[in-house]
């Protein structure tokens, strides 16, 4: 994996953490009525997708279980279809998908760090 890809993965994790901090313990009902929070989480989704689009094919092929295309696709939907986007989907992405993605990306980075130390 290139150094650049490693930096991108670190930035994705940082974006996920920002999303966690913003969303906190907010439930779906509160999320749906908080326009600022919806827009902030959507921007986080966009940032993550944009970063993911810059991951090399080499890295994508090494880690095929990461849904690279789906993440980029969610970015595109969020950026271009905001007015018709189902905010429930955005909420579920942040609450369910972000933690899983963060965990998988952290495993990749931990493995890289371990291999570098040896």
Q: Does residue 31 belong to any structural domain of this protein?
A: yes
In a domain, 116, yes or no: no
The parent domain of residue 39 ranges over 3-109
Residues 50-78 have a mean pLDDT of 94
Task: Tell me: pLDDT of 27 over 90.
Answer: yes
The answer to the question of residue 100 being in a domain is yes
pLDDT tens-digit readout, 80-90: 987 889 999 99
Q: How many domains in the chain?
A: 1
Q: Is residue 114 part of a domain?
A: no
pTM for this entry: 0.90
What pLDDT, in 10s, does the model give residues 95-107?
999 999 999 999 9
Q: What is the pLDDT of residue 115?
A: 63
Check: CB of residue 41 under 8 Å from CB of residue 90.
yes
Q: Could you count the other beta carbons within 10 Å of the beta carbon of residue 81?
A: 10
Question: Mean pLDDT over residues 41-68, rounded?
Answer: 95
Q: How many residues does the chain have?
A: 118
Inside any domain, residue 51: yes
In a domain, residue 117? The reply is no
Element at 36 (helix H, strand E): helix 35-52
Residue 118 resides in a domain: no
């Amino acid at each position: 994996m290139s150094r650049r890809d490693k930096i991108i993965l670190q930035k994705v994790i940082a974006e996920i953490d920002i999303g966690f901090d913003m969303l906190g313990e907010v439930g779906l009902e509160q999320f749906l009525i908080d326009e600022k929070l919806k827009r902030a989480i959507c921007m986080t989704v966009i940032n993550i997708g944009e970063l993911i689009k810059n991951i090399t094919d080499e890295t994508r092929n090494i880690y095929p279980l990461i849904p690279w295309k789906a993440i980029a696709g969610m970015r595109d939907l969020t950026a271009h279809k905001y007015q018709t986007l189902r905010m429930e989907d955005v909420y579920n992405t942040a609450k369910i998908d972000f933690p899983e993605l963060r965990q998988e990306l952290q495993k990749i980075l931990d493995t890289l760090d371990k291999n570098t130390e040896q």
